[in-house]
Amino acid sequence: MTNDKGMTKPEIPDHPSGKRCLFLAIRALAVTICMSAATAIPAEHMDSTPQEVFDSMRGSFQPAKAKGVLARYQWDLSGPQGGEWWIDVNDGKYKMGKGKIDNPNVTFVAKDKDWVAVSNHQMGGTWAYLTGRLKIRGDQGLARKLGEIFP
């Protein structure tokens, strides 16, 4: 193939199979990157339990970020280490416990190991949500606020 000046141009196949190969190569690269990130999990977080996650949240509470926030969060976690937990944020203060809370604004539903992975930054919360591994019922804005209040 030549251009208008008679110079040869390299041919790039404009064929569906050529585009498909490029797509598959990019997809393979993305999967490789994701898998290498997933295997680089710190050993100290591999065996965390949901209870340990909630216990560690106590130390990360940011009262200034919770000022003016009224939110009741509920977790329903399935699996061998699952259970129910709740957090009640009330204008810069919070209470936390095991069990159910009345009238939650947000309910998180997941497997125990998936919630631990999201909490320990081993799995992205958006990824977990989009793939159905984390279900969020209720006020999505308050759900996002949780990450600011308990970073």
For the domain spanning 48-149, the CATH number is 3.30.1050.10
Percent of the residues in the chain that have a pLDDT greater than 90, as a whole number = 69
pLDDT digits (tens, 9 = 90+) for 21-50: 444 444 443 333 333 333 334 444 567 999
**E strand or H helix at 33:** helix 16-39
Q: What is the pLDDT of residues 113-143, one digit of tens each?
A: 999 999 999 999 999 999 999 999 999 999 9
Q: What angle do CA 113, 115, 119 make, to 5 degrees?
A: 115
Contact call for residues 106 and 32 (beta carbons, < 8 A): no
Instruction: Please state whether the predicted TM-score (pTM) of the whole model is above 0.85.
Output: no
Q: Where are the domains of the chain?
A: 1-40, 48-149
